Amino acid sequence: MRPFRLADSDLAALGAGRPSPGTLGLLRRARLSRHLLLLREARRAVPERLAWYDDLGALTPAAARTRIADPLVGLWSARVLAALRAGPETALGELPEPVGHLIRVTHSGRTLTVRLDDRGPLRHLLGLPPAERLAPTELAHWHDCLDAAWRILVTRHPTAAGILDGVLQVIVPARPDPLAEGVSATSAGAFGAVAMSAPATGTGLAVALLHETQHSVLNAVHGLFELVHPGGRLGYSPWREDPRPTFGVLHGAYAFLAVARFWRTELRHDGATAPGRGAAEFEFARWRTAVHETAGRLLAGGELTAAGVRLVGALRDEVEPWLAEPVDPEVERLADLARADHHARWRLRNLTPSPGDLTALAGAWRAGRPAMPVESTVADGVRTIESSPRLRLIRAVLRGDTAGAEEGDPGDVACVRGSRRDALTSYQASLSKDRAHDAAWGGLALVSPHPALRRRPELVRAAALALPEADLAALADWLSHQDED
């Protein structure tokens, strides 16, 4: 058996988010090989004849190859092997038929064919609750959005269209999440399959499909060779509300590289005064910096393999020149604010100093001693995830919704407007009434003059709750002079 190999130049192109057709073909062959190995092991584990095995044998070689390469066959075969350890094969069901609605869209001579699977028995294995069977109007909406998305990609993003065509095979409609504008997911075992809620627009669908396709590509690469050393600690991801392992952080950076590139290209095509330019500039400015900073942290973290270093280095090199491209200063301020808001809220939700360190810190404050270094670690348990009110206000500003931009907490409105002094006064007033007011702590971290609040709001909050008699500004100033963790 010959191993699958990638040349260094191919790996670098992958890291930059520009895999060649040859590389995509190699990844497809590698996934087919994996499916074949899984099916072979499943067949060997059961001595009697199996209907699914006979069915595959009755197909022509080309038809069998197509069937075995289906993304959901990978999920099924892995599930079979796991279940064989617990019970008889007869309880596992048969190899699923490729069911659903076949959608073909064509523009400028380029055709994309996708199966919209709204009835297959394994839809839930993609990580999201599947939607009910599509009504005719819902199916028509999916078709219209996919047609619009494909037109956008073929017309303005031809390379991205080629990647999508080389990877995407199945879309599983998922139930919407009331706390999110849209949800989507992939599975490492289903190369080319995406679960996602119904898109609102063709543009939204194009972005979501590019994002999820990147996940499929990275999973396939990781199946060939390790990109991240096993183990490691959980850390910050600018795209998630929860702590993530290093490979999860890498996934986010790789997916949002495609998102940033999409908006960068849209800005070039739409011109300087096109409607919606502010929103496109915001997405580009927000994600180009997040991707670049995350790649830098990954490279400095010591948890990447040699192949991972090569891939992430190419990713960072790809996005670095984008940082110098001009964006409206006010839009850039809002993008910076959105990133800082997410990071502050993440720290407040997920990090905490130990009770022992807090006791020692409180003792030092009361004794008039300098603050000692205190490390924050990932907190036990799961805290409620809430959407950011400041991000909602930012989006209202970007779409020109004057009334919407004034609806909300006065501190948040002032913060988004850029009135730091008014925001600071408002947040301080809220905390004087309730020191456990998380939303106010998140806002204060954005406008406070004290470095400790900007860098480690979870520490200042914990110290303030442990020292109810302390003045918040004095306490934040005191903690700002301790060594960074």
295-304 per-position pLDDT tens digit: 999 999 999 9
| pLDDT mean over 135-157 | 97
For 149-153, which contacts have Cβ atoms below 8 Å and span 24 or more sequence positions? 149/199, 149/202, 149/203, 149/205, 149/206, 149/209, 150/105, 150/106, 150/107, 150/110, 150/112, 150/206, 151/105, 151/107, 151/202, 152/202, 152/203, 152/206, 153/206, 153/210
Which of 32-46, 117-131, 195-209 shows the highest mean pLDDT?
Answer: 195-209
- Give the model confidence (pLDDT) of 348-388 as tens digits: 999 999 999 999 999 999 999 999 999 999 987 655 556 78
Is 393 exposed, middle or buried, given 0-12, 13-18 or 19+ CB atoms closer than 10 A?
Answer: buried
**Residue 306 lies inside a defined structural domain of this protein:** yes
| Cβ pair 408, 393 in contact under 8 A | yes
Which of 80-94, 364-378, 384-398 shows the highest mean pLDDT?
Answer: 364-378
Confidence class for position 57, pLDDT limits 50, 70, 90: confident
| pLDDT mean over 281-293 | 97
Confidence class for position 164, pLDDT limits 50, 70, 90: very high
237 with 288, same domain: the answer is: yes
**Domain range enclosing 252:** 231-323
289 with 308, same domain: the answer is: yes
- Per cent of the chain over pLDDT 70 is 94
411 with 298, same domain: the answer is: no
Among 406, 410, 413, smallest CA distance to 390 is for: 413
The pLDDT, as a whole number, for residue 83 is 76
344 with 306, same domain: the answer is: no
The pLDDT, as a whole number, for residue 91 is 45
Question: What mean pLDDT is reported for the chain?
Answer: 91
**Residue 210 lies inside a defined structural domain of this protein:** no
258 with 351, same domain: the answer is: no
* Structure tokens given for 272: 């300087």
**Residue 444 lies inside a defined structural domain of this protein:** yes
CA–CA dist 403, 411 (Å, integer):
16
**Residue 105 lies inside a defined structural domain of this protein:** no
Among 238, 221, 245, smallest CA distance to 303 is for: 245
3-state secondary structure of 370: coil
- Give the model confidence (pLDDT) of 12-40 as tens digits: 999 999 999 999 999 999 999 999 888 88
471 with 414, same domain: the answer is: yes
* Structure tokens given for 251: 């996934």
Q: What are the backbone angles phi and psi of residue 376, rounded to the nearest 5°?
A: -100, 135
Q: State the total domains in the chain.
A: 2
Write down which residue in 323, 340, 366 finishes a domain: 323
| pLDDT mean over 429-456 | 94
335 with 475, same domain: the answer is: yes
Worst-scoring range by mean pLDDT, 89-103, 166-180, 289-303, 398-412? Answer: 89-103
317 with 341, same domain: the answer is: no
The pLDDT, as a whole number, for residue 180 is 67
The overall pTM is greater than 0.75? yes
CA–CA dist 19, 162 (Å, integer):
10
Half-sphere exposure of 51 (CA within 13 A, CB side): 8
318 with 334, same domain: the answer is: no
**What DSSP string runs through 322-360?**
GGGS---HHHHHHHHHHHHHHHHHHHHHHEEE-HHHHHH
Residue 159, pLDDT > 80, answer yes
- How distant, in Å, are the alpha carbons of 271, 327, 455 from that of 391? 26, 19, 20
260 with 369, same domain: the answer is: no
Confidence class for position 178, pLDDT limits 50, 70, 90: confident
| Cβ pair 217, 192 in contact under 8 A | no
Q: Which residue has the higher pLDDT, 238 or 272?
A: 238
* Structure tokens given for 195: 């679960």
- How distant, in Å, are the alpha carbons of 218, 272, 286, 294, 348 from that of 290? 19, 24, 6, 6, 19
The answer to whether the Cα torsion of 455, 357, 245, 299 is positive or negative is positive
Confidence class for position 284, pLDDT limits 50, 70, 90: very high
**Residue 280 lies inside a defined structural domain of this protein:** yes
**Residue 397 lies inside a defined structural domain of this protein:** yes
| pLDDT mean over 245-255 | 97
Worst-scoring range by mean pLDDT, 174-188, 228-242, 256-270? Answer: 174-188
CA–CA dist 122, 139 (Å, integer):
20
342 with 406, same domain: the answer is: yes
| Cβ pair 220, 30 in contact under 8 A | yes
Residue 3, pLDDT > 90, answer no
Confidence class for position 134, pLDDT limits 50, 70, 90: very high
| pLDDT mean over 107-114 | 97
**Residue 124 lies inside a defined structural domain of this protein:** no
309 with 426, same domain: the answer is: no
Continuous segment of H or E residues that includes residue 36: helix 21-44
The pLDDT, as a whole number, for residue 89 is 47
Cα angle 181, 182, 185 (rounded to 5 degrees) comes to 150
**Residue 192 lies inside a defined structural domain of this protein:** no
Write down which residue in 323, 340, 357 finishes a domain: 323
- How distant, in Å, are the alpha carbons of 351, 451, 455 from that of 480? 18, 5, 9
59: how many CB neighbours lie within 10 A of its CB? 13
